[in-house]
Amino acid sequence: MSTDLGIWLSALLSLAAFSFLIKENKFYNIAESAFIGVGTGYAFVMAWSNIQSKGFGQIAQGDYLTIVPVLLGLCLFGKMSKSTAWIGRYPAAMLMGMGSAIAIRGAVQSELVRQIAATCVPLNSVNNIIVVVGTLATVSYFLFSMKSTGSQLSGGINALSKLGRWVMMVSFGAAFANATMQRCAQLIDRLRFLFEEWIYLIR
């Protein structure tokens, strides 16, 4: 077995976390609290480094316009109390407005125009037919719905939407498989650590 204190700490915390599989218990709560404490501290340090370099550092170098975002950032502390929460609306509004615009300007070109253009392929292979029909069917599932009036149009739209559901089910199956692979990789990493670095069972 390892004699490194750090490895022992990691191993015991990992086992404490795994103990939740049996039942929630105090050891699991210790592991959870440790994770929250270190994680919050780490995020704080990273954020503080940004505030120092891009905020106070810039002001110290003579960029006095930076006082504006620093003041707006300090307004966010108003959110910590109900009576002063309204102060936090100003920086939140700026982030929302900016964030929305940044997302829109990229989304239109990269997710609409380019993707629609990429769907326009010649229907000269099975794969191309699946791509075109599958994309149209999925989009129609979300965008179009018609009351079944017995007409050919409503029947066609509803059939296309149903096909879209089937295509999405295949995609969700692939997503399930990939999610399984990710969880599997994480568990392999933990077991390898416990039985290779801690207990020396794996050579």
Partner 1 sequence: MGAAPNDNTGKKGISRQFMYLLTVLAILLPLVFPVGMPVSVTPWVEKGYQHVEKLNPGDKVLISFDYSASGAADIHPAAEAIFKHLMDKDVKVITVAFVAEGNRFPGMLMSAWEEQGKVYGEDFIHLGFLSGHETGLAALFADIPGAAPVDSRGNPVTSYPIMDGVKTVADCKMFIGLSGGNPGPQQYVRQLEPYQGVEIFTACTAAIAPTVEPYLASGQIVGLVGGLKGAAEYETVMGYAGKASANMDAQSFAHLLVIGFIVAGNIIHFTSKKNEGN
Partner 2 sequence: MRTEVPVAIAVISGFIILIAHFFNIAPIQAAATHLQDWGILIAAFAIVVSAANLLMVHIGRLSNQREEAWKKVNSVIVIGLFLATAVTGVISRDHHVFNWLYDRIMLPLGVTFVSMNMFYLVTAAFRAFRAQSLEASLLLGAGIIVLLGNAPVVEAFVPWFSKAATWVMGAPNMAAQRGLMIGAAIGAVQTGLRVICGLDRSYL
CB atoms closer than 10 angstroms to residue 137: 19
In the complex, the smallest distance separating the C-beta of residue 183 from partner 2, rounded to whole angstroms, is 4
Binding of partner 1 by 68 (CB under 8 A): no
Contact 141, 117 (CB under 8 A): no
Interface pattern 26-65 for partner 1 (x via CB under 8 A): -------------x--xx--xx-xx--xx--xx-------
In the complex, the smallest distance separating the C-beta of residue 183 from partner 1, rounded to whole angstroms, is 9
Q: Which residues contact 196 (CB under 8 A, 6 or more apart)?
A: 202
**Contacting partner 1 within 80-99 (CB under 8 A):** 95, 98-99
Binding of partner 1 by 117 (CB under 8 A): yes
Burial of 69 (0-12, 13-18, 19+ CB in 10 A): middle
* Cα 17 to Cα 27: distance, rounded to the nearest angstrom: 7
**Contacting partner 2 within 67-96 (CB under 8 A):** 68-70, 72-74, 76-77, 79-80, 86, 89-96
* Cα 2 to Cα 16: distance, rounded to the nearest angstrom: 18
The alpha carbon torsion through 62, 63, 68, 69 (nearest 10 deg) reads -120
Instruction: Give CA angle at 15 (10, 18), nearest 5°.
Output: 125
In the complex, the smallest distance separating the C-beta of residue 154 from partner 1, rounded to whole angstroms, is 29
**Contacting partner 2 within 113-152 (CB under 8 A):** 115-116, 118-119, 127, 130-139, 141-143
Contact partner at residue 170 from partner 1, partner 2, none, CB < 5 to 8 Å by partner kind: partner 2
Contact 28, 20 (CB under 8 A): yes
Interface pattern 26-65 for partner 2 (x via CB under 8 A): x--xxxxxxxxxxxxxxxxxxxxxxx--xx---------x
* For the chain, counts of helices (H) and of strands (E): 8, 0
Write out the residues near partner 1 by the rule CB under 8 A: 20-24, 39, 42-43, 46-47, 49-50, 53-54, 57-58, 95, 98-99, 102-103, 105-107, 109-111, 114-115, 117-118, 131, 171, 174-175, 178-182, 184-192, 195-196, 201-202
